């Protein structure tokens, strides 16, 4: 089962490379996504045994993250045939294969319980997304892909050094280092504290670059701004989630060593800094797709704050990863539709989207309220849990700063979104919107609405179990 979660998307990716018809290739993406979603659901309900001496295992964290990644990819996958039909002038062979290869890489991240294997899986996800960023084949997308690869390579190098330092933390105390997470957690109280601290700092910088925490976020505005909407959704809701999984696993080791003060402090600093930087750059933002990149920076900061606060905040952070993934699905797919119709991402040249493309304009506006934590959507619940954890643990300055920064983000993002969707259309007449470009975003919005009203008991149990697993101490 664990191997199937990785090999099935690879098989569909190979089929996409071999199928001659462009339309058939496009439909291989949702077909592969459906099969993977069924496998992921079964694995979450009946966790399969570990494989390869513990290198592959679901674990409590995997039971939350794997179904999330599969469900978000499933929604995005049904957007692909409709989107590619509108971009028939572009060859889609590599695009479809890379989408499915990305699903395989993200699945491998979630079930990897070996530090080295997880590192390889995250780099594989980076390489799978790179060709899709260049789908539009223009100078700006070429610049974005090089920035993505260059900065990402520096980040992954830091993560590699951090992995070496973590192994050294065991070897320095005369322990054997297999780099299996279970072994590292078991031996955590005996690890060298100096090497452990250095490892966490390097891994935070390395995986923080993949996540897009400020100030390591500089690749995000260009990459998200130039990528197709569906790719932006998967980057913001999938790849960043996988990078956070890697960071959470390292945090678990630090917690098991009963030495989490430095880690939590750094997470709080980087988290609040990320929300503040995002809010500052959202004010009078001239490009609405770059605005969504800063929204991603903000929400990665929110997750970091939740992990830094700890306790209920860890539960809130995991729930926020779920909400953010579906929220970004709504926004990026709607923004991609608007960009295609208007032919520009500049706010000054786009207006009245709700009149020219009513469905996409309405989804962008509703998605804005959802992603900024407005009730009754799920992000309100996860942000409230983090805020409650901050005040409940006596970290009043964190809670107050968190609230103030979220208010700044709401104002800055709201000003840009309202200029895009309201007013008279800047050009053109009302457009007909294909259902396949609307229904996937609507499905993501429906998930956010459900999670804001009612969290199913099985998801609640999985989240609390995963949060307790991360918070473990000797």
pLDDT, tens digit (0-9, with 9 covering 90-100), for 246-295: 999 999 999 988 888 899 999 999 999 999 999 999 988 899 999 999 99
The rounded mean pLDDT for the chain is 92
Residue 170 scores a pLDDT above 90: no
Give the mean pLDDT of 189-204.
92
pLDDT at 340 over 80: yes
DSSP 237-292: IIIHHHHHHHHHHHHHHHHHTT--HHHHHHHHHHHHHHHHHHHHHHTT-SBHHHHH
* Per-residue pLDDT at 102 exceeds 50: yes
Work out whether the CA dihedral 162, 165, 169, 171 comes out positive or negative: positive
Q: What does the pLDDT look like over 289-324, one tens digit per residue?
A: 999 999 999 999 999 999 999 999 999 999 999 999
Spatial CA neighbour of 119 closest among 259, 243, 289, 281: 243
pLDDT of the residue at 179? 86
Q: What percent of the chain has pLDDT over 90?
A: 78
* pLDDT at residue 426 in the model: 66
**Is the pLDDT confidence value at 473 over 60?**
no
pLDDT band at 218 (very low <50, low <70, confident <90, very high): very high
Task: Count the neighbouring beta carbons within 10 Å of the beta carbon of residue 298.
Answer: 29
Angle between helices 288-309 and 312-342 (to 10 degrees): 180
pLDDT score for 474: 42
pLDDT at 404 exceeding the cut of 90:
yes
pLDDT score at 425: 72
Would the pLDDT of 193 be above 70?
yes
**Which residue in 399, 402, 398 sits closest to 302, CA to CA?**
402
Output the six-digit token pair for 188: 């955590």
């Amino acid at each position: 089962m664990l191997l199937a979660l990785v090999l099935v998307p690879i098989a569909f990716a190979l089929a996409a490379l071999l199928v001659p018809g462009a339309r058939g290739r496009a439909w291989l993406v949702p077909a592969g996504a459906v099969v993977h979603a069924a496998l992921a659901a079964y694995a979450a309900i009946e966790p399969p045994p570990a494989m390869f001496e513990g290198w592959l295992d679901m674990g409590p964290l995997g039971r939350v993250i794997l179904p999330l990644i599969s469900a978000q990819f499933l929604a995005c996958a049904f957007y692909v045939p409709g989107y590619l039909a509108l971009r028939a002038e572009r060859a889609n062979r590599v695009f479809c294969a890379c989408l499915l290869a990305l699903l395989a890489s993200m699945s491998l991240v979630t079930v990897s319980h070996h530090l080295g294997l997880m590192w390889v899986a995250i780099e594989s996800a980076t390489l799978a997304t790179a060709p899709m960023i260049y789908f539009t084949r223009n100078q700006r997308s070429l610049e974005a892909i090089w920035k993505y690869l260059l900065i990402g390579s520096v980040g992954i190098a830091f993560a590699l050094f951090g992995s070496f330092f973590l192994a050294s933390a065991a070897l320095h105390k005369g322990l054997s280092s297999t780099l299996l997470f279970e072994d590292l957690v078991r031996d955590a109280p005996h690890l060298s504290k100096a090497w452990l601290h250095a490892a966490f700092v390097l891994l935070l910088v390395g995986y923080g670059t993949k996540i897009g925490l400020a100030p390591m976020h500089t690749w995000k505005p260009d990459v998200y701004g130039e990528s197709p909407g569906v790719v932006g959704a998967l980057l913001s809701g999938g790849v960043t989630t996988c990078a956070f999984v890697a960071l959470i696993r390292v945090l678990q080791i630090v917690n098991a060593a009963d030495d989490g003060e430095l880690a939590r402090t750094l997470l709080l600093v980087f988290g609040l800094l990320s929300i503040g930087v995002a809010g500052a750059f959202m004010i009078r933002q001239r490009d609405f797709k770059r605005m969504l990149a800063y929204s991603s920076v903000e929400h990665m900061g929110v997750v970091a704050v939740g992990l830094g606060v700890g306790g209920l905040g860890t539960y809130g952070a995991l729930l926020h990863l779920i909400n953010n993934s579906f929220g970004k699905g709504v926004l990026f797919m709607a923004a991609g539709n608007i960009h295609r119709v208007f032919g520009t991402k500049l706010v000054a040249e786009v207006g009245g989207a709700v009149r020219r493309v009513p469905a996409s304009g309405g989804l962008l506006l509703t998605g804005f309220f959802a992603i900024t934590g407005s009730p009754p959507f799920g992000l309100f619940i996860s942000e409230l849990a983090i805020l409650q954890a901050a005040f409940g643990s006596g970290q009043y300055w964190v809670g107050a700063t968190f609230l103030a920064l979220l208010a700044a983000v709401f104002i800055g993002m709201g000003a840009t979104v309202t200029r895009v969707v309201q007013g008279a259309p800047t050009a053109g007449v009302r457009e007909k919107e294909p259902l396949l470009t609307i229904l996937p975003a609507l499905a993501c919005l429906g998930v956010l609405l459900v999670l804001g009203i009612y969290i199913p008991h099985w998801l609640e149990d999985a989240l609390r179990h995963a949060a307790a697993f991360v918070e473990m101490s000797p």
